[in-house]
Structure 1
Amino acid sequence: MTGSTLPRASVLGVVCAVLLSGCSSGGLGSGSTITVTIGVDGPLTGNLADLGLGIRYSAELAVAKANAKNTVPGVKFILDAKDDRADEQAARANGEAFAADPKVVGVVGPLTSSSALAMAPVLSKAGLAEISPSNTAPALTWGADYRAAGKKRQYPTYFRTVTTDAVQGPLLARYAHTRLSANRAAVVSDTKAYGTNLAAEFATAFEEVGGKVAFRATVEQGTSDFTKLASQIAASRPDIVYYGGEHPEGGPLSAALKAAGVKAPMAGGDGLHTDGYLKAAGPSANGDLSSQPGISVEGLASAFTYLDAYHQAGHEEEPGPFGPYAYDSTWALILAVGRARQGGNGTDLTGPELRKAVADALQDISFFGVTGDVAFDEFGDARSQVASIYQVQKGTWTSIVPVGRLRDF
């Protein structure tokens, strides 16, 4: 799932013809003006609020742009942002509220996979489109037993703009073994769906390429004292320590490892790729690694105008790694509304008919956005199955693999 400041870098992508418009043209839909609501769900308070607010503010930029450009003639968009505090029960309740509001045509979010597993069944039952900029658990689109039973789409209205742990976990495992010559790994995770799945993906891939997982452990959410665990990890003599989880626990764990004399870098997924991790780990973070589902967007020219607009808005929170994907998720919904608005009988759709048509239209949406090409496969996953790898250098997350594919390592 989980935000670091995005510096400008050399241009890797092609400048979009109309930045921040998703390269769309006007003329979508017709008829009298209606107001439709796009929901946003994520942690707007709590220790993951920096990421949730980055998603919210990015969605606001997309909605403001669509309204200013009249991207969908006859439609005014408003945003309804709800706080789930990264709590599954709150996410489910928010999903029920969105489903009960007839003006809501789609939802962006939630941040965490655990929240999505609680919300997706609710929105799917209501026929309400959901598109996440950050969920990475493969189970959301393939099913929990996809390895044994094969991939099967779980929720016909669920989509995401980032790739999954089935890519980012193995990518970092292969990179660690082939590029860092890591042969022994200690693997730790929290107990949430995101962390446990990501750690399992890393461990499986690490051993498949010839590495050995010498130590396994789990920690409870909210743990702050890692002294004993760090000592146990040090005794296992790892070449790399992998943590499946988020930065509130990951940062202190990194600091404890270095204090225990562990010289191996700590690595993890997008849950560590945050400014919060840098603050919590302090100088101990230097050399640590994280993967990020999707391309390293700071190298895309299409992200420059988005970043300028975001910072000009004066938000204290940075967009984080998921802000750009939240912008594109929102834009995908906006384009789906434009495509769905005109019914087959030539009349503009509204209400339940529009909601269903938006969910159906989202499957075929394709455009070049802030994060590059945006499109969805038959499971609702992003067609672009790539991840990037970052390293903390001089206290800053720095991209070292801007575009990574499993075949590269």
Structure 2
Amino acid sequence: MGRRRTRRGQALLAGLLALLVALPTGLTLGLLTLRDGRAGGGAGGSRGPQVMRIGVMAPLSGDLGNIGGSVRDAVTLAVDEFNKSEAIPGWKVELVAENDLSRPDGGAAAAEAFAKDSALVGVVGPLSSNVARIAVPVLDAAGVPVISPSNGDPALTAQDEPPYARKRPYDRYFRLSGSDAVQARAGADYAVRVLHLTKIIVVDGGPSYGDTLAGRFASYALAAGAEVLTTYQVKGADADGKEVQEVAEGIQEFNPDLVYTSTGYLFASALRQRMADEAISVRILGTDAMLSARYLDSAGGAAEGDLATDLAVPLSRLPAGAFATEYLKRWGPVAGGPEQPAIPDKKTGSPTPTPTDGATGPAAPPGGPIRDGQGTNTPGGSGSSAPGAVVPGDNGSGRGDEPSAVTGQEADMIPALAAYAYDSARALLRAAAVVLPGRVAVDDATRAAITAQIARGSFAGVTGQVAFDIFGDRRDPSAVIYAIVNGRFVPTVIPAK
């Protein structure tokens, strides 16, 4: 009997405790109220804002760290402006940056980290096409939208497939720049149709400078009516004396009126010096890999009138006054100055052998380009600006359609890629502002909807009208032709055809 009463007492005690838990006291009710947000700030008087994140994948250290840092800073501006505007009630944006080291292995690590972030709505970057080839498949498989400011590899959007068979390789990938196909065509058309240079020697720097950049240029030049006299295959990242001499001898033998080189600035400047030593007066047309103050320093006065192509338009030629003012106010100029367009190598992107879009080649100087192996631009005339060339700083914003507190020359102390990264971030954030209201979390359905909104969106950006075609390429990308005039690169913007 005693044991039975003890068990009954234990059961009654357990029931009483359960009742106390089920009927919260004023203290527990208050704690629950704070926990579910009814006593906090945020949307609808509930808990604090939901967090979504936007990623930046770029080189944040090493020789290209200043370019990657400017990209991160530009995205920071876009994020801060977005949060200040409270564009999505109940949501705020956080930025997370991953250092891809401008190397495929760094890109792989960065992509894996981003793929695991459940709050990520998209990534701005990478800058180099070599990195993109590794990182984009990982991010695309994870359902993460990606907008690169600068990848030049045509294969990333299957540009080389026949129109009737073209299929988009990565459904969630977009690029804001043009591709190597745009760069090569712009260079060939400008050289042949504008400057009437029709006897051309091609110097191919190899895969690191665009798998087919030299070949594309040759094809476009032939189509425009030029004659390609011969092609030399060289190690584009070096200045091998034997190769330089071989090309110089070929120039003397074939007597061209243009030498096209898809190499880094080391080879191009060594060739220019050898040509000067042997009194050979022929213009050189290079790619974005030649866009370096080091080419100007090494080649000296003999480089006057030489040309280079690129894909990123300098800020002095963009309606970027407000952006440039705010960027300089917060971050100041990027080391390197306006003499060298700051455009990364959209294709390869290794810091040591790469001066522009990620292609291989010597390291870009501070503020200089990163070679991506894809880019385009050319203006020029011996000792005078090429037809239509514009001197940076001619007016505040470059186009004169927007008042600016900075001059064009001051604006060009910001890498051009910063403006492209800013617009990339804005494209992501504008899409998120359409999709996220009413949602309580970021999931794959949310990211899919953001991707669809990016694809159909269009807005006036710092870099021009931002809109994408069905393959993720920017509609109507521009190219830039630079001529060396009075020891400086002077840009001419070539609108897309």
Residue 304 of structure 2 is matched in structure 1 by 286
Aligned equivalent of 1:350, options 442, 454, 457: 442
**Partners of 2:66 and 2:334 within 8 A in 1:** no
Residue 382 of structure 1 is matched in structure 2 by 474
Residue 398 of structure 1 is matched in structure 2 by 490
Paired letter, 2:416: P
**Partners of 1:62 and 1:331 within 8 A in 2:** yes
| TM-fit CA distance, 1:295 | 5.2
Give the direction of change, closer, same or farther, for the CA distance of 1:252–1:100 in structure 2 (3 Å limit): farther
Residue 205 of structure 1 is matched in structure 2 by 220
Residue 114 of structure 2 is matched in structure 1 by 98
| TM-fit CA distance, 1:151 | 2.6
Aligned equivalent of 2:259, options 207, 229, 241: 241
1: distance between equivalents of 2:98 and 2:280? Answer: 41
**Number of residue pairs the alignment of both structures matches:** 372
| TM-fit CA distance, 1:150 | 4.1
2: distance between equivalents of 1:340 and 1:251? Answer: 51
Is residue 195 from structure 1 mapped to residue 195 from structure 2 by the alignment? Answer: no
Residue 176 of structure 2 is matched in structure 1 by 161
**Identity over aligned pairs, percent:** 33
Residue 100 of structure 2 is matched in structure 1 by 84
1: distance between equivalents of 2:63 and 2:236? Answer: 12
| TM-fit CA distance, 1:323 | 1.7
2: distance between equivalents of 1:46 and 1:219? Answer: 26
Deviations 1:279-331 (A, max 9, x none): 5544444322222326565233x301211222222243443232211110111
Give the direction of change, closer, same or farther, for the CA distance of 1:183–1:127 in structure 2 (3 Å limit): same
Task: List runs of 5+ in structure 2 lacking aligned partners.
Answer: 1-42, 336-412
Give the direction of change, closer, same or farther, for the CA distance of 1:52–1:194 in structure 2 (3 Å limit): farther
2: distance between equivalents of 1:243 and 1:49? Answer: 26
1: distance between equivalents of 2:436 and 2:139? Answer: 20
Residue 173 of structure 1 is matched in structure 2 by 188
Task: List runs of 5+ in structure 1 lacking aligned partners.
Answer: 1-29
Q: How does 1:102-181 map to 2 (within 5 A)?
A: 102-142=118-158, 145-147=160-162, 150-181=165-196
Residue 69 of structure 2 is matched in structure 1 by 53
Query: Which TM-score applies when normalising by structure 2?
Result: 0.68
**Partners of 1:290 and 1:390 within 8 A in 2:** yes
Aligned equivalent of 2:321, options 304, 317, 321: 304
**Partners of 1:189 and 1:195 within 8 A in 2:** no
2: distance between equivalents of 1:250 and 1:109? Answer: 29
Residue 10 of structure 1 is matched in structure 2 by none
Give the direction of change, closer, same or farther, for the CA distance of 1:399–1:259 in structure 2 (3 Å limit): same
Deviations 1:378-403 (A, max 9, x none): 01011123323221212222123x23
| TM-fit CA distance, 1:204 | 0.7
Residue 35 of structure 2 is matched in structure 1 by none
Moved more, 91-100 or 273-282: 273-282
| TM-fit CA distance, 1:127 | 0.9
1: distance between equivalents of 2:324 and 2:292? Answer: 17
1: distance between equivalents of 2:279 and 2:63? Answer: 28
**Partners of 1:113 and 1:135 within 8 A in 2:** yes
Greater relative contact order (Cα < 8 A, sep 6+) = 1
**Partners of 1:136 and 1:194 within 8 A in 2:** no
Give the direction of change, closer, same or farther, for the CA distance of 1:93–1:246 in structure 2 (3 Å limit): farther
Aligned equivalent of 1:65, options 81, 84, 90: 81
Residue 12 of structure 1 is matched in structure 2 by none
Aligned-CA RMSD value: 2.8
Moved more, 366-375 or 150-159: 150-159
Query: Which TM-score applies when normalising by structure 1?
Result: 0.81
**Partners of 2:435 and 2:446 within 8 A in 1:** yes
Aligned equivalent of 1:44, options 43, 55, 60: 60
